[in-house]
């Protein structure tokens, strides 16, 4: 049952700090827990337009990639002097402070041919990681009332790049002599990612969603044809998402670039949502595919320089177009002015309470 909107819901009961140093975002007196509100959105029974306040990110240091990729988020602040280093496959990542992230130094590929993986790549012993220590460190960090998202960095194609460098990774997927090796490698990767997911769920049943990174495009175009993604990446991803869905969790994809033509592959791979970068026509993607995948739509006319009334009008316009109870979306706006947020919440509650 979706309760009717009550103005008392606009009472601010807390704030979410901004990870990038911006202004904190208010938490309203929602009619359901934030966890339930997000689940309702993904079940396509929305109660309000969810934004950036409902979720908590959990990237524990027990997973080597979180340290190597310099994005550990857990109960205690991880020292930045310890980020970078070897990932779960022993590949060295270098943290670059000026960009706030890590990369594998190019020009020293671990594999010159994808078929070398059978002999050269040692898959991690996930069971040997200090899961008990991780549990003790982070006990109580995740709230059963929140949408708790854990990230898996370095998806299938990104992992291939880490081993081969970009150009060789691309070529391996069109070179007939390497194609079978790539397919088998991707499926083997899925087995490892499932093991990690199962460990996380065992120790942290409060986790509600897995967000996986696998970039597929540049500013102007996708790296490869939809046919290549369909043949090489989709089967491995689908095995992962099927498993995560069997546990009752959500599957979110992070994939950068102008990759609108790859959205049918995201759907086929079983992803529940994708928040595109702004170079994509998010409104067109919503029109075409919003009934099959939750799309992050970029609102029009939102700027901190706008008046409160202008922001509220923009929020009502967004709600009228995209807060469709039968075809909901995500709102793709990181720095959301308070007036826009408040009016969007109110308008979406009124639209969804039918």
Encode pLDDT of 170-200 as tens digits. Answer: 999 999 999 999 999 999 999 999 999 999 9
pLDDT of residue 99: 86
For residue 62, pLDDT beyond 70: yes
Distances (CA, A) of 221 to 33, 158, 206, 226: 40, 17, 37, 12
Distances (CA, A) of 257 to 217, 279, 280, 297: 4, 7, 8, 15
Distance between start and end Cα atoms, the chain: 9
Spatial neighbors of 328 by CB under 8 A, at least 6 apart, are 41, 44, 46, 49, 290, 294, 322
The band of 161, judged by pLDDT with boundaries at 50, 70 and 90, is: very high
Q: What is the DSSP string of 118-149?
A: HHH-----GGGS-HHHHHHHHTTTS-TTSEEE
What ranges make up the beta strands (E) of the chain? 12-16, 25-28, 55-57, 85-86, 92-96, 101-103, 147-152, 207-213, 250-254, 273-274, 294-297, 330-331
CATH of residue 96's domain is 3.20.20.210
Q: Residue 326 burial by CB count (10 A; 0-12/13-18/19+): exposed, middle or buried?
A: exposed
Alpha carbon distance 83, 65 (integer Å): 10
Encode pLDDT of 289-309 as tens digits. Answer: 999 999 999 999 898 899 999
Which of these, 324, 327, 322, 329, lies nearest to 276 by C-alpha position? Answer: 329
For residue 313, pLDDT beyond 80: yes
pLDDT of residue 301: 84
Mean pLDDT taken over the chain = 96
Q: How many CA atoms lie within 13 A of 201 on its CB side?
A: 17
Report for 2-16, 19-33, 155-169: range of highest mean pLDDT: 155-169
pLDDT of residue 21: 74
Structural domain includes residue 46: no
Alpha carbon distance 336, 342 (integer Å): 10
For residue 1, pLDDT beyond 70: no
Structural domain includes residue 344: no
Structural domain includes residue 304: no
Per-residue burial over 219-241, b if 16 or more Cβ lie within 10 Å, else e, is: eeebbbebebbeebbbebbebbb
Alpha carbon distance 293, 266 (integer Å): 8
Residue 278 CB neighbour total at 10 angstroms: 10
Structural domain includes residue 164: yes
Q: What percentage of the chain exceeds 90 in pLDDT?
A: 92
pLDDT of residue 273: 98
Residue 324 CB neighbour total at 10 angstroms: 17
For residue 323, pLDDT beyond 80: yes
The pLDDT of 152-158, averaged and rounded, is 96
Range of the domain at 226: 62-298
pTM assigned to the model: 0.96
For residue 324, pLDDT beyond 90: yes
Structural domain includes residue 325: no
Encode pLDDT of 106-136 as tens digits. Answer: 888 999 999 999 999 999 999 999 999 999 9
Alpha carbon distance 2, 9 (integer Å): 14
Secondary structure letter of residue 222 according to DSSP: B
How many residues are given for the chain?
354
Alpha carbon distance 221, 273 (integer Å): 20
Structural domain includes residue 170: yes
The pLDDT of 267-294, averaged and rounded, is 97
Distances (CA, A) of 284 to 225, 260, 280, 281: 20, 9, 9, 5
| DSSP helix/strand/coil, 22 | coil
Structural domain includes residue 210: yes
Residue 248 CB neighbour total at 10 angstroms: 10
Alpha carbon distance 159, 117 (integer Å): 12
pLDDT of residue 186: 98
Domain count, the chain: 1
pLDDT of residue 75: 96
Alpha carbon distance 216, 228 (integer Å): 11
The band of 2, judged by pLDDT with boundaries at 50, 70 and 90, is: confident
Structural domain includes residue 69: yes
């Amino acid at each position: 049952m979706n309760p009717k909107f009550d103005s008392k819901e606009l009472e601010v009961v807390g704030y979410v700090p901004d990870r990038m140093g911006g202004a904190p975002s208010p938490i309203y007196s929602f009619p359901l827990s934030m966890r339930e509100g997000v689940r309702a959105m993904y079940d396509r029974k929305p109660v309000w337009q969810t934004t950036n306040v409902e979720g908590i990110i959990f990237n524990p240091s027990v997973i080597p990639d979180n340290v190597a990729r310099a994005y550990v988020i857990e109960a205690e602040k991880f020292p930045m002097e310890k980020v970078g280093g070897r990932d779960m496959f022993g590949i060295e990542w270098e943290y670059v402070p000026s960009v706030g992230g890590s990369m594998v130094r190019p020009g020293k590929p671990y594999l010159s041919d994808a078929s070398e993986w059978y002999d050269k790549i040692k898959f991690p012993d996930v069971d040997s990681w200090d899961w008990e220590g991780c549990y003790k460190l982070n006990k109580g960090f995740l709230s059963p009332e929140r949408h708790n998202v854990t990230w898996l960095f370095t998806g299938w194609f990104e992992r291939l790049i880490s081993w081969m460098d970009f150009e060789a990774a691309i070529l391996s997927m069109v070179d007939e002599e390497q194609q079978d090796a790539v397919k088998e490698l991707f499926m083997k990767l899925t087995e490892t990612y499932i093991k990690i997911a199962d460990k996380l769920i065992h120790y942290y049943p409060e986790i509600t969603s897995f967000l996986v990174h696998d970039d597929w495009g540049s500013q102007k175009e996708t790296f490869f044809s939809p046919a290549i993604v369909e043949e090489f990446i989709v089967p491995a991803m689908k095995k992962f998402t099927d498993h995560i869905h069997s546990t009752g969790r959500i599957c979110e994809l992070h994939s950068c670039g102008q990759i609108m033509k790859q959205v049918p592959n995201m759907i086929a791979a079983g992803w529940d949502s994708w928040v595109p970068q702004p170079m994509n026509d998010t409104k067109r993607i919503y029109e075409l595919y919003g009934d099959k995948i939750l799309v992050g739509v970029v609102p029009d006319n939102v700027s901190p320089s706008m008046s409160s009334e202008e922001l509220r009008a923009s929020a009502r316009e967004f709600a009228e177009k995209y807060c469709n109870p039968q075809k909901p979306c995500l709102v793709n706006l990181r720095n959301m002015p308070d007036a826009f947020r408040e009016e969007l919440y109110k308008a979406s509650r009124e639209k969804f309470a039918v």
